Amino acid sequence: METTRLPFCTIVPPHITERLARSDDPRLREAARRTAGTDVLQRNARIAAQRARILPRAVERPPAPRPRRTVYDAGHRQALPGRRARAEGEGAVADASVNRAYDGLGATFSLYLEEFDRYSIDGGGLPLDATVHFGRGYDNAFWDGSRMVFGDGDGEVFKDFTLSLDVIGHELTHGVVQYTAALEYHGQSGALNESMADVFGSLVKQYALDQTAADADWLIGADLLTDRVRGRALRDMRAPGTAYDDDVLGKDPQPATMDDYVETRSDNGGVHINSGIPNRAFHLVAAELGGYAWERAGQIWYDVLAGGRLRPDAGFADFAALTVRAARERFSGDGPEAQAVSKAWAQVGVVTEG
């Protein structure tokens, strides 16, 4: 089981790729097997790279911070970064995937800077790089520790992975986790890692669309699935376990409460599955408090992520207790924020003495 604190994080869970690899449709089967093989190669490269990892040097924060984006085109090959296609300040190009990636990097930068006072992914002005058109029919997107990488999808089940803004926010948030709590990528700490990426990925989309908690769809990857698939998204934070129910993909396995917590050796102990529990807790807090989710619920979650108290091996109960504490410290003691947080964790079956 992979326990690295600098994991290879993909948006499509392994259980979906594995199911597609057993499909009766040879096109889906071949695309899934290629994707799985590519993921193994990239995961191994990630592990090797971290052994010689050199952290980027923080730059002095300018009076008016701006992102430093560069988008590359892999040309359907797997060599990174690829050909430079658009850089910071340059106008839109003919390739829509390049433009969507560029805009998504900017939207993520804006949320973190304007609402959480975080200067890029590492807090020190890290350049935001992305590569599009990675591989042929590659059914995934990932954060490799230094850049976002997008596949075009197979066109049968998955579309171009630049289409979902929350997916871009999700993967870049894995970078934020990397530079803050460094949550270990297995078991409950890994599920928290995935959940933090979903939470802030959803907030990136809500912020860009000016949506309140009541207006938001709370779906992750809603723009990725083709019409062939009977489903709404990869995950539903409001109602885990209901995102899809399809002959090809199977049924969404995410639990909504600890009563249905999944014990498994696959997927690093179910990191993409059990993340449904803290996902739902966050949605319950945001819905209870109302308004824009990043203003109160998001601030509480960010305080825990970046506050220095969250251990890399933290479990759900550890995280829950810290969110109650953060709510009390940021807001009015045992006011509506702390009460909403405590109530939400109780609803999903996570006991906290916070």
As a whole number of angstroms, the distance between CA 174 and CA 101 comes to 16
60 burial (CB, 10 Å; 0-12 / 13-18 / 19+) is exposed
- The catalytically annotated residue of 15, 170, 171, 174 is 171
Does residue 171 carry a catalytic annotation? yes
- The catalytically annotated residue of 133, 174, 272, 283 is 272
Which of 74, 47, 81 has the alpha carbon at shortest distance from 152? Answer: 74
DSSP string, 49-76: HHHT--PPPPPPPPSS----EEEEE-TT
As a whole number of angstroms, the distance between CA 250 and CA 19 comes to 8
Contact by Cβ (8 Å): 197, 170: yes
Does residue 186 carry a catalytic annotation? no
3-state secondary structure of 220: strand
Q: Which residues contact 339 (CB under 8 A, 6 or more apart)?
A: none
As a whole number of angstroms, the distance between CA 73 and CA 130 comes to 9
As a whole number of angstroms, the distance between CA 20 and CA 306 comes to 37
Separation in Å, CA 344 to CA 196, 249, 347: 16, 30, 5
210 burial (CB, 10 Å; 0-12 / 13-18 / 19+) is exposed
Element (H, E) at 148: strand 148-150
Neighbour count for residue 291 (Cβ, 10 Å): 12
Contact by Cβ (8 Å): 170, 201: yes
Contact by Cβ (8 Å): 174, 272: no
Residues labelled as active-site residues: 171, 272
